[in-house]
């Protein structure tokens, strides 16, 4: 009966609109609701401290006090630069990583790209400094070389400043972009590559006709995601920025809450961040690229077996070689530096401390719980996004509005500073008898909000294509939703679901987030332990903990990969399923 109803609903709607996704819409309303409640709670608490001045304040802050305007300007410039650089570096890199998929070093590079995004920011910064800093690898190399040469060579100029912040943001975000683009490139049906081979396409043609069309729909949403990350970055910007000239609004929000107790100011600044995010999302949703339906078909991720150029020219080899070199210097060297420092330090005393194991158990529980929740939510939201679209090639204004509402609801959690969220949660829950008992749940909740934007971005694009693809099969055979999920969706999407599971779990492992605001010694997580060690002269132990944290993160990531393989293990009925099961390759498409 259900099946019949579903099929009928398609006919009734004439393919114009799918069934209204009520669960998804409820979730989005919930996300916006959380945000609204948080800001209202802050405003309400503010009135107990001083006079309300919300609208008057906006004028004061933006016009008369140039500090805020300056912070806004600085954050915009920094975030724009970081985003452009990250994208420009990541696109050719993901092409190379797809093209040289079977190169022996590639599984290692893929693990590294998964790792970068989840390293705690200040730890990563010290890894970057180990390469680029005054005592870094490069300066040591220069010193060694200039000892041989008769003339002296200039040392690197000081690392700190805008360039350091941009470089650090590339370190975090280029791997994330690669993580989003690579599956798209690997999901191009094998027939496309065969065709390219038969018609003798050059690398440039291949990019123009196959690779670019398969990734272009992802570029804008990804840029918005990266932009919002960089725009709301905080400790990293301060640490590497070289002074308050390179700053973000988050610093001002932090000091508004912590020093001035000016919650009005904090709310106004948060609203300002939201406004910037909304403008970005509006540009994204209304851009022509986004309005076109994505016409391309996809298959399960499979390492291309015939992904070979007709003439793998020397220049292309050199290009690929240079790209891999860039990745090695940007990404691998800093991580290796961190690992080396950690291993040579006081590993034993960290491993024998009971607090480490307790923190590990706490972190793992939080990571698994948030990974399960976020994966579920991301799938539901991706499905919602799909159903918001008609099957026509142009979206109506109304549909665009719904999509904007959805996308912004998901992305908004990125620009809510954790101190705002934490303080608001605290205000709301302060009447509970013991706020520390619910601390783990608050951390879980914050992690869910944090993981959602990335995982939604990772899954939604491909989910929509996969659903469009199975649409006709479902109509033709009238199969049930569960069968559809099992045999049409999961074989194609399983690995992506596994990826976001691993990714969110890994992110939660590394996030300090609101725990700093709520923590009591009863609930320690690994990043909190790390933070405490670093704050107590224990640099050595902190380095060891950082390496252990990275190791656990890699394990969690691999767990996501295994889950992905298990989910996608059903025989696929999807139209262009992989002729080569991914399991034949040593490391599969994911790691």
Q: Between residues 224 and 542, which has the closer beta carbon with respect to other proteins? A: 542
Q: Closest approach of Cβ 555 to other proteins, in Å?
A: 18
Contact 132, 164 (CB under 8 A): yes
Measured at the alpha carbon of residue 448, what is the angle toward residues 72 and 302, in degrees to the nearest 5? 100
Q: Closest approach of Cβ 240 to other proteins, in Å?
A: 6
Q: Closest approach of Cβ 252 to other proteins, in Å?
A: 8
Please provide the DSSP assignment of 269-329 as one string: HHHHHHHHHHHHHHHHHHSHHHHS-------S----SS---SS--HHHHHHHHHHHHHHII
Residue 541 CA to its chain's centroid (Å): 28
**Structure-token pair, residue 9:** 């609903």
**Structure-token pair, residue 534:** 């670093």
Residue with tokens 């106004």: 268
Residue with tokens 């694009």: 461
Distance, CA of 353 to CA of 338 (rounded, Å): 21
Q: Between residues 296 and 365, which has the closer beta carbon with respect to other proteins? A: 365
DSSP letter at 572 equals P
Q: Between residues 84 and 485, which has the closer beta carbon with respect to other proteins? A: 485
Distance, CA of 370 to CA of 446 (rounded, Å): 9
Q: Return the closest-CA partner of residue 471 out of 24, 10, 1, 20.
A: 10
Q: Closest approach of Cβ 565 to other proteins, in Å?
A: 14
Q: Closest approach of Cβ 126 to other proteins, in Å?
A: 6
- Residues 251-273 as b/e (b if ≥16 CB within 10 A, e otherwise) read bbbbebbeeeebbbbbbbbbebb
Contact 395, 288 (CB under 8 A): no
Distance, CA of 67 to CA of 77 (rounded, Å): 15
Q: Between residues 273 and 408, which has the closer beta carbon with respect to other proteins? A: 273
Residue with tokens 């909740």: 445
Q: Between residues 134 and 208, which has the closer beta carbon with respect to other proteins? A: 134
Half-sphere exposure of 496 (CA within 13 A, CB side): 33
3-state secondary structure of 345: coil
DSSP letter at 330 equals I
Q: Closest approach of Cβ 324 to other proteins, in Å?
A: 28
- Residues 191-200 as b/e (b if ≥16 CB within 10 A, e otherwise) read ebbeebeeee
Q: Closest approach of Cβ 448 to other proteins, in Å?
A: 13
Q: Closest approach of Cβ 206 to other proteins, in Å?
A: 38
Q: Between residues 209 and 436, which has the closer beta carbon with respect to other proteins? A: 436
Q: Closest approach of Cβ 322 to other proteins, in Å?
A: 29
Q: Between residues 344 and 355, which has the closer beta carbon with respect to other proteins? A: 355
Contact 580, 301 (CB under 8 A): no
Alpha-carbon distances, residue 194 vs 17, 36, 198, 272 (angstroms): 36, 52, 6, 50
Q: Closest approach of Cβ 37 to other proteins, in Å?
A: 16
Measured at the alpha carbon of residue 10, what is the angle toward residues 8 and 13, in degrees to the nearest 5? 105
Q: Between residues 478 and 522, which has the closer beta carbon with respect to other proteins? A: 522
Measured at the alpha carbon of residue 82, what is the angle toward residues 79 and 83, in degrees to the nearest 5? 85
Q: Between residues 130 and 381, which has the closer beta carbon with respect to other proteins? A: 130
Q: Closest approach of Cβ 343 to other proteins, in Å?
A: 17
Q: Closest approach of Cβ 486 to other proteins, in Å?
A: 5
Contacts (Cβ under 8 Å, ≥6 apart) of 195: none
Q: Between residues 270 and 533, which has the closer beta carbon with respect to other proteins? A: 533
**Structure-token pair, residue 431:** 């009447």
**Structure-token pair, residue 241:** 């920025």
**Structure-token pair, residue 220:** 């804008």
Contact 469, 476 (CB under 8 A): no
Q: Between residues 437 and 551, which has the closer beta carbon with respect to other proteins? A: 437
Q: Closest approach of Cβ 328 to other proteins, in Å?
A: 22
Residue with tokens 């033709």: 476
Distance, CA of 322 to CA of 479 (rounded, Å): 49
Q: Between residues 324 and 459, which has the closer beta carbon with respect to other proteins? A: 459
Contacts (Cβ under 8 Å, ≥6 apart) of 292: 217, 393
Q: Closest approach of Cβ 445 to other proteins, in Å?
A: 12
Q: Between residues 444 and 506, which has the closer beta carbon with respect to other proteins? A: 444
3-state secondary structure of 490: helix
Q: Between residues 8 and 67, which has the closer beta carbon with respect to other proteins? A: 67
Q: Closest approach of Cβ 137 to other proteins, in Å?
A: 12
Q: Between residues 182 and 548, which has the closer beta carbon with respect to other proteins? A: 548
């Amino acid at each position: 009966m259900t099946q019949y109803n579903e099929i009928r609903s398609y006919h009734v709607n004439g393919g114009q609109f799918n069934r209204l996704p009520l669960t998804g819409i409820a979730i989005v309303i919930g996300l916006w609701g959380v945000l609204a409640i948080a800001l209202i709670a802050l405003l309400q608490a503010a009135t107990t401290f001083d006079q309300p001045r919300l609208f008057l304040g906006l004028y004061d802050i933006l016009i008369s006090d140039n500090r805020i305007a300056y912070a806004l300007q600085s954050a915009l410039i920094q975030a724009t630069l970081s985003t452009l650089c990250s994208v420009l570096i990541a696109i050719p890199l993901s092409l190379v990583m797809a093209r040289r998929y079977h190169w022996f070093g590639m599984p290692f590079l893929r693990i590294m790209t998964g790792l970068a995004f989840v390293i705690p920011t200040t730890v990563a910064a010290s890894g970057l400094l180990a390469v680029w800093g005054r005592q870094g690898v490069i300066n040591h190399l220069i010193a060694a070389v200039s000892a041989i040469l008769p003339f002296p060579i200039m040392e690197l100029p000081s690392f700190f400043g805008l360039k350091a912040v941009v470089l650090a943001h590339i370190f975090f975000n280029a791997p994330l972009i690669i993580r989003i683009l690579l599956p798209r490139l690997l999901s191009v049906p094998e027939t496309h590559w065969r065709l390219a081979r038969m018609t003798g396409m050059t690398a440039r043609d291949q990019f123009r006709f196959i690779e670019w069309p398969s990734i272009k729909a992802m570029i804008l949403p990804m840029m918005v995601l990266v932009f919002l990350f960089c725009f709301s970055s905080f400790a990293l910007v301060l640490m590497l920025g070289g002074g308050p000239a390179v700053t973000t609004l988050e610093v001002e929000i932090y000091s508004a809450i912590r020093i001035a107790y000016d919650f009005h100011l904090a709310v106004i600044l948060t609203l300002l961040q939201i406004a910037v995010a909304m403008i970005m999302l509006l540009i994204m949703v209304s851009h022509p690229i986004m309005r076109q339906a994505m016409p391309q078909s996809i298959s399960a991720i499979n390492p291309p077996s015939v992904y070979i150029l007709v003439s793998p020219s020397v220049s292309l080899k050199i290009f690929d070689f240079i790209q891999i070199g860039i990745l090695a210097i940007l990404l691998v060297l800093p991580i290796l530096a961190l690992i080396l420092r950690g291993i040579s330090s006081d590993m034993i005393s960290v491993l024998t401390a009971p607090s480490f194991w307790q923190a590990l158990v706490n972190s793992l529980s939080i990571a698994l719980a948030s990974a399960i929740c976020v994966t579920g939510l991301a799938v539901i939201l991706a499905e919602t996004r799909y159903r918001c679209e008609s099957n026509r090639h142009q979206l109506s204004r109304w549909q665009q509005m719904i999509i904007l509402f959805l996308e912004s609801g998901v992305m908004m959690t990125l620009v809510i500073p954790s101190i705002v969220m934490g303080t608001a949660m605290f205000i709301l829950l302060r009447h509970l008898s013991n706020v520390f008992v619910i601390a783990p749940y608050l951390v879980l909740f914050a992690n869910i909000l944090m993981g959602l934007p990335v995982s939604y971005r990772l899954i939604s694009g491909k989910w929509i294509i996969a659903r469009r693809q199975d649409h006709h099969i479902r109509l033709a055979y009238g199969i049930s939703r569960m069968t559809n999920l099992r045999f049409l969706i999961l074989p194609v999407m399983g690995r992506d679901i596994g990826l976001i599971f691993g990714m969110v779990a890994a992110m939660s492992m590394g996030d300090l987030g609101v725990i700093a605001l709520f923590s009591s010694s009863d609930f320690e997580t690994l990043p909190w332990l790390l933070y405490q060690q670093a704050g107590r002269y224990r640099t050595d132990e902190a380095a060891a903990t950082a390496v252990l944290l990275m190791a656990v993160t890699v394990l969690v990531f691999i767990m996501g990969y295994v889950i992905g393989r298990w989910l996608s293990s059903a025989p696929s009925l999807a139209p262009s399923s992989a002729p080569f099961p991914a399991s034949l390759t040593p490391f599969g498409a994911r790691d």
